[in-house]
Chain A
Amino acid sequence: MTMDATLSGHLQELRRGTVVVASLTVLRQPGYGYSLLETLSAAGFEVEANTLYPLLRRLETQGLLTSSWNTDEARPRKFYRTTEQGDAIAAALRDEWVRLDKAIGDLDHPSGNDSRSKQ
């Protein structure tokens, strides 16, 4: 019980921020709130609607997303698309993600030649 609560707390900490990278990456193709939610959960991101919808507006305020209303269909939808700036930031975040992944991997499996293994 306590163990589970501790784990879920740490998982939440670790996942915080990944939704931003994922959203900015997915929205290089324009999409609306619910479609993005579907895409993300299909891709394995555990994101809740009440976190994602406000987040999209926040990213728009920061200039990382732009939006426009599409009224062609029966149901008007607000489409978001990643801006150039948003794309650049997403690329930087993905690089950081790769770097961290490698760094964690190195810690988990030390190569044997580094100074720490001599101790």
Chain B
Amino acid sequence: MTTLIDRYVFTVLRRVPEQQRSDIERELRTSIEDAVDARVDGGQPREAAIEQTLLELGDPDRLADGYADRPRYLIGPVFYPAWQRIIILLLSTILPLVVTIVVVIRILDDASIGEVIGSAVSTTLTAGAHMVFWVTLTFAILERTGVARAELRGRSWSLDDLPRYEPGLQTPAQLGAALGWVVLVIAAIVLQQFAFTEEPVLDPANWSFWWPYLIGVLILEGVYAVWLYRRGTWTHTVTIVNAVLAAMFAIPVTWLAVNERFFNPEWIATLDWGATDPLAWLTGITVSIAVGGALYDIIDVAIRVERARRGLPTPVPGTGREYSTPLS
């Protein structure tokens, strides 16, 4: 029969690296017996002395973590802010995007309302769990392999990492987001030809001119983002360039949609929306998004340029504060 001391020692050893086990076992047993002897010498019965000694040593798992010099947390204070930022970004931005795409695909697949809600819920849970799990796992590994924060960043934190709040100035992260968006849309235009649905969503006839043209405009949008980032100040030139680019994209899209040349007729034929006419609805949606998006973009940039030029206060997102650009 194993004694109480055996049970305690074995429980500690289970969570200690193998090569240290025999040494730790010998030392721990001696220490326990020394303490028990001291209590027995003080007049306690042996049984009670053993119980008291082990109770004082406390949770064996904790003792083992002490021996193994192992952190008793998953993600420590060094990595917690980065972990939190990425989780919030994923759950608040990427997850809704993924769910929206799934819902749209299900609707286009002619699913019932129940099926659409079902896939929305299951995608939220599955994709959300995946995002949290993989990010947390990555950070837990970083924590345990002793990667320092500076190594993760490539260098230590510097004053340049402070975000710029002036409307005309962008951080590398904002530039990255703008370029990422361009890449994403180009990938979507190219991939819809082969993937997502059985028939391409967009009219394949336009590959002779309009789709390459739109990809070209998107690349120009990327060049514009880099130019804006390097330039650093917003002037009327920015308003005009931005407006021209927005028009170069929105006008052809609207024109193609209105003339029923935007969507692939064979793909439209696969849709069965009952009494509603899919083409009319999709055309309406496309035109609203193209025109509305372009107008919003043009007006938003124009207002920001005016604010920057006149030195009007600009709200700093997330702070409730305002920033005034000094007049140059």
Name A residues whose Cβ lies closer than 8 Å to a Cβ of B: 32-35, 37-38, 48-51, 53-55, 57-58, 61, 69, 75-78
- A57–B67 CA distance with the chains assembled, in angstroms: 7
**B132: Cβ under 8 A from any A Cβ:** no
The answer to whether B26 touches A78, judged by C-beta atoms less than 8 angstroms apart, is yes
B84 contacts A by Cβ under 8 Å: no
Q: Is B312 an interface residue (CB 8 A)?
A: no
Closest to A49 in B: B57
Most buried by B among A34, A50, A76: A50
Q: Cβ of A32: which chain B residues have Cβ within 8 Å of it?
A: 30-31, 34
Cβ of B33 under 8 Å from chain A: yes
Do B31 and A49 have beta carbons less than 8 Å apart?
Answer: yes
Smallest beta-carbon distance B105→chain A, Å: 54
Contact between B31 and A53 (Cβ–Cβ < 8 Å)?
A: yes
B35: interface (CB < 8 Å)? yes
Residues of B within 8 A of A37 (CB): 35
- Nearest A residue (CB) for B53: A49
- Is B41 an interface position by the 8 A CB rule? no
State A76–B27 Cα separation when bound (angstroms): 8
Please tell me if the beta carbons of A53 and B28 are within 8 angstroms of each other in the complex.
yes
Contact: A54 with B31, CB < 8 Å?
A: no
18 contacts between A and B (CB under 8 A): A32-B30, A33-B27, A33-B31, A35-B34, A48-B56, A50-B58, A50-B59, A50-B62, A50-B63, A50-B66, A53-B27, A53-B28, A53-B63, A53-B66, A54-B67, A57-B67, A77-B30, A78-B27
Distance in Å: Cβ of A47 to nearest Cβ of chain B: 12
Contacting residues, chain A, for B47 (C-beta < 8 A): none
In the complex, chain A residues whose CB is within 8 Å of the CB of B63 = 50, 53-54
Considering the complex, give the chain A residue whose CB is closest to the CB of B29: A75
Q: Between A and B, how many residue pairs show CB distances below 8 Å?
A: 54
User: Once the chains are docked, how many angstroms separate the CA of A51 from the CA of B35?
Assistant: 15
Minimum CB–CB distance for B243 against chain A, Å: 60
B161 at the interface (CB under 8 A from A): no
Does the CB pair B69–A34 fall under 8 Å? Answer: no
Cα–Cα distance between A75 and B31 once the two chains are bound (Å):
10
Chain B residues within 8 Å of A48, by CB: 56, 58
List of B residues within 8 angstroms of A76 by Cβ? 26, 30
With A33-B34, A53-B28 given, name 11 new contacts (CB 8 A): A32-B30, A32-B31, A33-B30, A50-B66, A53-B63, A55-B66, A57-B24, A57-B67, A76-B26, A77-B30, A78-B23
Which residue of the partner chain A has the closest CB to B26? A76
CB contacts (< 8 Å) of A34 on chain B: these are: 30-31, 34-35, 38
Docked pose: A50 CA to B8 CA in angstroms: 13
Question: Within the complex, what minimum Cβ distance (angstroms) separates B106 from chain A?
Answer: 53
Would you give the shortest CB distance from A19 to chain B, in whole angstroms? Answer: 13
Q: Are B30 and A54 neighbours in the complex by a CB distance under 8 Å?
A: no
Bits for B196-222, please: 1 = Cβ < 8 Å to A, else 0: 000000000000000000000000000
List CB contacts (< 8 Å) of B270-326 with chain A.
none
Within the complex, the shortest CB–CB distance from B143 to chain A, in Å, comes to 19
Taken together as a complex, chains A and B put the C-alpha atoms of A9 and B59 apart, in Å, by 20
How far is A49 from B54 in the complex, measured between Cα atoms in Å? 10
Question: B62 — which chain A residues lie within 8 A by C-beta?
Answer: 50
Q: Looking across the interface, which residue of chain B has its beta carbon closest to that of A57?
A: B67
Smallest Cβ distance from B22 to chain A, in angstroms? 11
Q: Which A residues lie within 8 Å of B28 (CB)? A: 53
Return the 8 tightest CB-CB contacts between A and B, nearest first.
A54-B66, A34-B34, A33-B31, A50-B63, A78-B27, A54-B67, A50-B58, A34-B31
**Bound Cα distance from A57 to B204, whole angstroms:** 71
> Which residue of chain A has the shortest Cβ distance to B58 in the bound complex?
A50
Residues in A with CB closer than 8 Å to B23 are: 78
